[in-house]
Amino acid sequence: MEGAQSDFFVSKARHPAFLAGRRGGKTVGGVVKGFSYCFEYPGALGCAVAPTFPNVRDVVLRTIEALFGALRGREWEFRAGDMEIVFPGRVDRGMASRILLRSAESYDTLRGLTLAWGWLDEAGLQPEQVMLILMPSLTQQGYPQQGWVTSTPSGKRHWLHRVWGEKKGLDGEALWGEDYPVFRARTVENFHNPPGMYEHLKRQYGGTRFAAQELEGEFVIFEGQGFPQFSDKIHVRYPPTGMRFLRKVVGMDYGSVSPTALIEVGKDEAGRLWALREFYKPRCDPSELVKTLGEWQVSRVVCDPTAKDTIEALKRAGVPVKKAKTNEFKRKTGVAGARLALQGGEPGCFFSPECPNLIAEFGSLRYAQPRGAEMLTDKWDASSADHAFDAWVYALMDFEGAVGRPQAPFALIERGW
């Protein structure tokens, strides 16, 4: 499209950013820019990073197929085992261009790469560490190095705004502004969207700051709200009668004095996750916890990886428990934000009204702001309860890229905690 998308495409700056509202053509711009680079420079190695593995599969790969599917097998091929796009080029002379497809969930695996270009799709849902690790990898000799981002803005306290909005580095020092140009677009400007889509979303979002962010592509302040994209109207609903779930997982956050939370999460046939029911109780007796898990007929429980004693005690009771992938704050919030975001008019997750504490926490989670200091983005305010949220996100992370056969429910072992 003429305007921001085409200007972003032709930009030769070291780190251009294409920031737009939802369905503003961001991923299309990133894919076309990456493919064009590989066509023009045989032997180039690029890397495209999305917030989660489902984003890689359902957004980036689907966009590639939609744009360049007619050339598959002739000009490019997808190697699923290596998660990479290969452009044959002069293979016999080692000149095949490649695009590595990676998830921000495992950003440490990006270390050590030597790249000609890198791209962060929906950078607003990724931790800054991804950029800090990926961009120094732009060192492939003989190629013009470039690293770009595409995203919907994520608030004025997000690192995306600091870098491209304020042109400031990690320590607040000024960056070279010409290296960080910003190309902006609004949802309404994408004439490829279905007729009436913008008007429908505008009516749904109203004149809110969320609408300014999601439809107009603006940086806004949400006064520390952890998940401004969460909406009762959008995310809270009962699953349809008879809905089939491919797999269910229970996330757990155990507290001996603070509330213990269990959240059962199911994955439907469309790949969306549903929080189906919750258990939430302060000063929970361990035997009551195990009893509830037995009644729920669960086949998999995922909990805080640092709660080693709890994990061992549950295993002794016969509970099929495992450690969550991580307890890192920014990874948890990043994965949660990616699931809450709308994709094709629908979010990646829903919350049954049977989970009132989880729903309440999403409306109340706020970032910490010490008196007289800037808002922190690596911890919640002390007044914000996050027990149900942690339980939910532990289960959610277990679905990201997960495969495997369904497991049978566990058999309760009658022995002490």
Q: Which residue, among 162, 164, 160, 165, has the nearest Cα to 130 in the 3D structure?
A: 160
Within 158-231, strands assigned E span 182-185
Return the exposure string of 141-164: e unless at least 16 CB atoms fall within 10 Å of the residue's CB, then b: eebebbbbbbbbbbbbbbbbbbbb
Q: Which span out of 28-42, 311-325, 372-386 was modeled with the highest average pLDDT?
A: 28-42
H/E element, 399: helix 387-399
The Cα angle at residue 155 between residues 149 and 160, in degrees rounded to 5: 30
Q: What is the CATH number of domain 232-399?
A: 3.30.420.280
Does the pLDDT at position 392 exceed 70?
yes
Return the exposure string of 113-134: e unless at least 16 CB atoms fall within 10 Å of the residue's CB, then b: bebbbbbbbbbbbbbbbbbebb
Does the pLDDT at position 402 exceed 70?
no
pLDDT tens, 232-290? 888 999 999 999 999 999 999 998 778 899 999 999 999 999 999 999 988 888 889 99
DSSP annotation of 174: B
pLDDT interval class at 117 (50, 70, 90): very high
Share of the chain above pLDDT 90, in %: 55
Q: What is the pLDDT of residue 404?
A: 35
pLDDT tens, 172-207? 889 998 999 999 999 999 999 999 988 988 888 777
What phi and psi, each to the nearest 5 degrees, are found at residue 88?
A: -50, -50
Please, is 329 exposed, middle or buried when counting C-beta atoms within 10 Å of its C-beta (0-12, 13-18, 19+)?
middle
Does the pLDDT at position 409 exceed 50?
no
Report the chain's mean pLDDT, rounded to a whole number.
87
Domains of the chain, residue spans: 4-214, 232-399
Domain 4-214, second-level architecture: 3-Layer(aba) Sandwich (3.40)
Q: Please report the DSSP string for 41-67 in residue order.
A: STT-EEEEEESSHHHIIIIIHHHHHHH
Helix orientation angle between 387-399 and 356-364, rounded to the nearest 10 degrees: 100
Which distant-in-sequence residues (6+ apart) come within 8 Å of 41 by Cβ?
A: 97, 116, 143, 144
Q: Which residue, among 110, 88, 89, 92, has the nearest Cα to 101 in the 3D structure?
A: 110
Alpha carbon distance 101, 83 (integer Å): 6
Helix then strand then coil, in percent of the chain rounded to 5, is 35, 20, 40
pLDDT interval class at 415 (50, 70, 90): very low
Alpha carbon distance 222, 202 (integer Å): 19
Q: What is the pLDDT of residue 94?
A: 60
Alpha-carbon torsion, ordered 99, 29, 27, 124, to 10 deg: 100
Q: What is the pLDDT of residue 65?
A: 97
pTM: 0.61
On whether the CB atoms of residues 351 and 263 are closer than 8 A, the answer is no
pLDDT interval class at 90 (50, 70, 90): low
Q: What is the pLDDT of residue 230?
A: 87
Q: Which residue, among 148, 161, 142, has the nearest Cα to 9 in the 3D structure?
A: 148
